[in-house]
C-alpha cells in the first residue's frame, strides 16, 4: 500500500503512456489487417478505411467490448491474490502493456500481421507465472483462450469458403452476372446488418444498461438489416455496366456492385474488431487505474472510465494512420489476390466470428480469424491461388508472438520492481 501511496500517480502516468503505445500498436497492426481486405480489394482508399475504423472501432469498444475487457483484466490472473501486494499487479499490467507495444512495433515495421491478443495474453501469463507464481494464472481460462485461437480461424475459413462459393454459384458462374449481382447482393447486405446487430443486442449492451430479449433483439436487427439494404440498393442503383472495363476483366462491373457491399462489411469488421481487440489496450489500463484510484484496493470488478475508451480510440487511429499501410499490404495483397466479391466473403465471415466471440467474452485473435477467412476464399479458388511463402512467414510470426510477449513482460516487470520496490 505504501508504494501505491508514494508513487501512485507516477505509475498511473506510466500506464497511460504505455496504454497509448499499446493502442498505437493495435492500430498499426490489428486494425490494419482488419481493413486490409477492403483496401486490398480496391473497395476503399486508405483515407476512407481510417475514417470508418475511427468511428466503428470506438463504437464496438464502447458498446460491445465490456465482456472481453473484463477477461483481459481479471480472467487470466486472479486479482484477489494481490490483495496484500497491489503494487505487483500494477507492475505486471504496466509491463504487459509495454511488452506488447514493443512487439507490435517490431511486427508492424516488418509488415507481420501478428495477434495483439496473443501478445497481451502472453505478457500477462508471463509476469503472472514467473513474477508472482504459477498458481496466479488461471490455466483453465488460458487453455480455453488458446483453443479459441485454433478454432476461430477454422470457423472463419469455413464460413468464408461457403459464402464465396454461394457468390460463385448465384452470381459469378452465370450467364448474366451483373444482373444477378443486383438481384442477390441485397440479401447479403441484409445478412451483414442482421448478424452484426443481433449478436450486439443479445450480448454486448448489458454493461451500458440495455438488456433486450431475443424477440426484441430479432426485431431491431431485422429493422437495421432493412435499413442497410435500403442504403445499399440506393448506392448500387447508380452503378451501370461498364462494357469497356468488362472487355479487360469480365466481372469488372459486377465487382463494382460488390464494392458497395464491402463498405458495409468494412463497418461491420471495424465494429467487430473494436468489440474484441480494443480490450487488449484498455483492459490492463483499467485495472491499474482502479487499483491506484482506490489507494491500493483490489476490486473484482470496476467501471471503465470514458477517458480510457477515448485514449484507446485515439491510439488506435494514430497507429493506423502512421504505420498501418505495411500490414494492410500483407493482408490485402500478399496472401491471395482479392477482389470486392472475395473480400466481402472474408470480411463478413471474420466479422461474424469475432462478434460471436465478443458476445461470449472470449478474446480471440482477429488476425488469426481474418487470415483464416482470407485463406478460405483462396481455397475456394484452388490451392494455387494462395501465396504459401507469405502464409509461412505469417505462421512463424504467430508462433514467436506469445513467448516474445511473455519474455519482454517478465524483463520489464523485474525492472519496475527494482526501481519502485
Q: What pLDDT, in 10s, does the model give residues 91-135?
A: 888 999 999 999 988 888 887 777 777 788 888 888 888 877 787
Strand partners, 137: 77
pTM of the model: 0.77
Average pLDDT over residues 396-409: 84
Q: What pLDDT, in 10s, does the model give residues 284-293?
A: 888 888 888 8
Average pLDDT over residues 27-49: 76
| CA pair distance 366, 374, nearest whole angstrom | 12
Instruction: Give yes or no for residue 408 having a pLDDT over 80.
Output: yes
Q: Directed axis angle between helix 139-167 and helix 340-359, to 10°? A: 150
Nearest CA to 172 among 350, 339, 370, 371?
A: 339
| CA pair distance 35, 347, nearest whole angstrom | 9
Nearest CA to 421 among 74, 12, 90, 73?
A: 90
* pLDDT number for residue 17: 93
Instruction: Give yes or no for residue 30 having a pLDDT over 80.
Output: no
Domain containing residue 185: 2-420
How many other CB atoms are found less than 10 A from the CB of residue 215? 8
Nearest CA to 82 among 145, 4, 139?
A: 4
Q: What pLDDT, in 10s, does the model give residues 194-247?
A: 877 776 676 555 555 666 777 888 898 899 999 989 988 888 888 887 777 777
Nearest CA to 200 among 379, 66, 332, 307?
A: 66
Nearest CA to 197 among 361, 30, 359?
A: 359
Domains of the chain: total: 1
More confident residue, 366 or 152: 152
Q: Which of 77-81, 170-174, 205-209 has the lowest mean pLDDT?
A: 205-209
Task: Find cell 454486448 and name the residue.
Answer: 204
* pLDDT number for residue 222: 93
Q: Which of 130-144, 217-231, 384-398 has the lowest mean pLDDT?
A: 384-398
Instruction: Give yes or no for residue 299 having a pLDDT over 60.
Output: yes
Q: How many residues does the chain have?
A: 421
Nearest CA to 295 among 12, 106, 19, 38?
A: 12
Average pLDDT over residues 291-299: 75
* pLDDT number for residue 95: 92
| CA pair distance 350, 369, nearest whole angstrom | 6
* pLDDT number for residue 363: 61
| CA pair distance 369, 367, nearest whole angstrom | 5
* pLDDT number for residue 102: 94
Highest mean pLDDT among 190-194, 294-298, 323-327, 343-347: 190-194
Instruction: Give yes or no for residue 312 having a pLDDT over 90.
Output: no
Q: How confident is the model at residue 37 (pLDDT cuts 50, 70, 90)?
A: confident
DSSP string for residues in 4-40: HHHHHHHHHHHHHHHHHHHHHHIIIIIIHHHHHHHHH
Contacts of 62 (CB under 8 A, 6+ apart): 208, 309
Q: Which of 17-26, 197-206, 313-322, 358-367 has the lowest mean pLDDT?
A: 197-206
* pLDDT number for residue 276: 64
More confident residue, 300 or 371: 371
Q: What pLDDT, in 10s, does the model give residues 324-383?
A: 777 776 666 666 667 888 888 887 888 778 777 766 666 667 777 878 888 888 777 666
What value, to the nearest 5°, has the Cα angle with vertex 44 and ends 257 and 321? Answer: 170
Nearest CA to 113 among 417, 377, 395?
A: 395
Instruction: Give yes or no for residue 400 having a pLDDT over 80.
Output: yes
The C-alpha cell of 3 is what?
Answer: 508504494
Amino acid at each position: 500500500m505504501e508504494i501505491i501511496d508514494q508513487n501512485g500517480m507516477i505509475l498511473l502516468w506510466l500506464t497511460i503512456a504505455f496504454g497509448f503505445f499499446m493502442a498505437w500498436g493495435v492500430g498499426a497492426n490489428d486494425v490494419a489487417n482488419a481493413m486490409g481486405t477492403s483496401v486490398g480489394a480496391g473497395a476503399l482508399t486508405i483515407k476512407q478505411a481510417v475514417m470508418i475504423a475511427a468511428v466503428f472501432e470506438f463504437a464496438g469498444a464502447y458498446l460491445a467490448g465490456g465482456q472481453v475487457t473484463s477477461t483481459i483484466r481479471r480472467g487470466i490472473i486472479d486479482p484477489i491474490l494481490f490483495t496484500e501486494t497491489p503494487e505487483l499487479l500494477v507492475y505486471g499490467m504496466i509491463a504487459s502493456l509495454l511488452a506488447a507495444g514493443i512487439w507490435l512495433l517490431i511486427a508492424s515495421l516488418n509488415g507481420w500481421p501478428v495477434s495483439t491478443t496473443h501478445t497481451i495474453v502472453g505478457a500477462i501469463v508471463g509476469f503472472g507465472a514467473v513474477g508472482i507464481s504459477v498458481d496466479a494464472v488461471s490455466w483453465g481460462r488460458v487453455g480455453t483462450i488458446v483453443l479459441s485461437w485454433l478454432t476461430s480461424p477454422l470457423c472463419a475459413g469455413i464460413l468464408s469458403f461457403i459464402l464465396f462459393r454461394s457468390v460463385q454459384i448465384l452470381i459469378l458462374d452465370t450467364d448474366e452476372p451483373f444482373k444477378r449481382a443486383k438481384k442477390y447482393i441485397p440479401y447479403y447486405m441484409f445478412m451483414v446488418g442482421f448478424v452484426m446487430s443481433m449478436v450486439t443486442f443479445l450480448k454486448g449492451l448489458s454493461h451500458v444498461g440495455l438488456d433486450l430479449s431475443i424477440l426484441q433483439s430479432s426485431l431491431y436487427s431485422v429493422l437495421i438489416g432493412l435499413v442497410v439494404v435500403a442504403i445499399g440498393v440506393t448506392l448500387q442503383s447508380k452503378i451501370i455496366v461498364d462494357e469497356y472495363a468488362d472487355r479487360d476483366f469480365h466481372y469488372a462491373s459486377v465487382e463494382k456492385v460488390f464494392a458497395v457491399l464491402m463498405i458495409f462489411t468494412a463497418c461491420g469488421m471495424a465494429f467487430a474488431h473494436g468489440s474484441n481487440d480494443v480490450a487488449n489496450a484498455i483492459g490492463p489500463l483499467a485495472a491499474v487505474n482502479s487499483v491506484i484510484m482506490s489507494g491500493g484496493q483490489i476490486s473484482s470488478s470496476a467501471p471503465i472510465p470514458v477517458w480510457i475508451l477515448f485514449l484507446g480510440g485515439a491510439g488506435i487511429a494514430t497507429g493506423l494512420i502512421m504505420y498501418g499501410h505495411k500490414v494492410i499490404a500483407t493482408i490485402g495483397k500478399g496472401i491471395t489476390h482479392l477482389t470486392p466479391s472475395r473480400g466481402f466473403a472474408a470480411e463478413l465471415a471474420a466479422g461474424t466470428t469475432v462478434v460471436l466471440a465478443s458476445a461470449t467474452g472470449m478474446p480471440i485473435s482477429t488476425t488469426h480469424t481474418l487470415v483464416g477467412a482470407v485463406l478460405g476464399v483462396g481455397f475456394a479458388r484452388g490451392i494455387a491461388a494462395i501465396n504459401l511463402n507469405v502464409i509461412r512467414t505469417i505462421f512463424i510470426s504467430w508462433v514467436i508472438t506469445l513467448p516474445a510477449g511473455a519474455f519482454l513482460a517478465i524483463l520489464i516487470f523485474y525492472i519496475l520492481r527494482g526501481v519502485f520496490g
